[in-house]
Amino acid sequence: MRAWAGLSALLTLAACSEPAETPVTYKGLDCAQAFEAQAAALVAQPQLVPAPKDPAEPYRFYSSADGRTSYLITEKGAPGHPAIMMQQAKGSDVVTTGCPYGDKAGYDQLHAYLDGLKHWRRK
């Protein structure tokens, strides 16, 4: 009888506890979408933090609150514009993917720049 009372108490406590927080997931890139539509959908995601705008840089960075997902969206004057790139932390690696809507050579330059940032260390 005491076992049933204990089980009943545990079930009651479990029913009253707060639900586990669902991890936030971020959109992957869909290069079939138009540049403007995809950029707007990515930027509208909740818990995405825009980096301060650097007037000398023709693109914007947006990152997840946990820092595991980042997007780079080009602006006029950027190499490869229009383009959107995404970096995701996968274990100890950072994987860069993207959608080259514009000039392929400029996109490749931008991709190399982002990949170079993965290995940059402050001295």
In contact, 63 and 70? CB cutoff 8 Å: yes
Please state, in angstroms and rounded to a whole number, the distance separating the CA atoms of residues 8 and 42: 46
Q: How confident is the model at residue 26 (pLDDT cuts 50, 70, 90)?
A: very high
Name the more confident of 21 and 38.
Answer: 38
Average pLDDT taken over every residue of the chain: 84
**What is the pLDDT, as a whole number, of residue 17?**
54
Please state, in angstroms and rounded to a whole number, the distance separating the CA atoms of residues 92 and 74: 27
75-79 average pLDDT score: 94
pTM: 0.78
Please state, in angstroms and rounded to a whole number, the distance separating the CA atoms of residues 88 and 94: 5
**What is the pLDDT, as a whole number, of residue 4?**
47
With vertex at residue 103, the alpha carbon angle to CA 69 and CA 55, rounded to the nearest 5 degrees, is: 60
- Structure tokens belonging to residue 42: 């990515």
Beginning with the edge strand found earlier in the chain, give each strand of the sheet holding 48-50 in spatial order: 48-50, 59-64, 69-74, 83-90, 93-100
